């Protein structure tokens, strides 16, 4: 039951960020201190942050609702968030560091990754 609640919470978080990124990518980026340029900037943000986040929300939501989708959703989150955690670690090592408010995203990604690993372990063999 806790794994389903976790997946539902992740679905809500990804859906909120995905919708924000899809509907107003320039405001989303500027709110994070990211400058978007060129004619394809908003288009790219909508696709990557909007579309991929909404896809993550759909898969996490499916895992929360259907037990047959729980493990695929957890494995996806492990790969997706693990990729972010890895890349953030490399980025911190290469510098320069992000602004202080960006650490909220890093914290979300690390916490989500760790919780996903625990959920996978708890769901092993199911």
pLDDT digits 0-9 by tens, 75-105: 999 999 999 999 999 999 998 988 888 888 8
Task: Provide the 3-class DSSP secondary structure of residue 68.
Answer: helix
Percent of the chain with pLDDT over 90: 76
| Domain housing 110 | 2-122
**Rounded Cα–Cα distance for residues 10 and 58 (Å):** 10
**Rounded Cα–Cα distance for residues 110 and 117 (Å):** 11
pLDDT of residue 126: 65
Q: What is the number of alpha carbons within 13 Å of residue 66 lying toward its C-beta?
A: 7
CA distances to 33, 72, 84, 112, 120 from 77, rounded to whole Å, are 26, 9, 10, 8, 10
Average pLDDT over residues 41-61: 94
What's the domain count of the chain?
1
């Amino acid at each position: 039951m806790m794994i389903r609640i976790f997946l539902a919470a992740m679905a809500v978080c990804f859906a909120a960020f995905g919708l924000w990124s899809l509907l107003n990518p320039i405001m989303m980026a500027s709110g994070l201190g990211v400058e978007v340029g060129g004619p394809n900037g908003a288009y790219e943000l909508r696709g990557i942050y909007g579309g991929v986040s909404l896809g993550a929300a759909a898969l996490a939501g499916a895992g929360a609702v259907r037990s047959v989708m729980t493990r695929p959703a957890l494995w996806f989150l492990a790969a997706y968030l693990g990729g972010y955690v890895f890349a953030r670690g490399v980025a911190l090592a290469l510098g320069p560091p992000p602004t202080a408010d960006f650490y909220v995203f890093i914290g979300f990604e690390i916490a989500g990754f760790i919780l996903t690993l625990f959920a996978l372990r708890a769901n092993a063999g199911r």
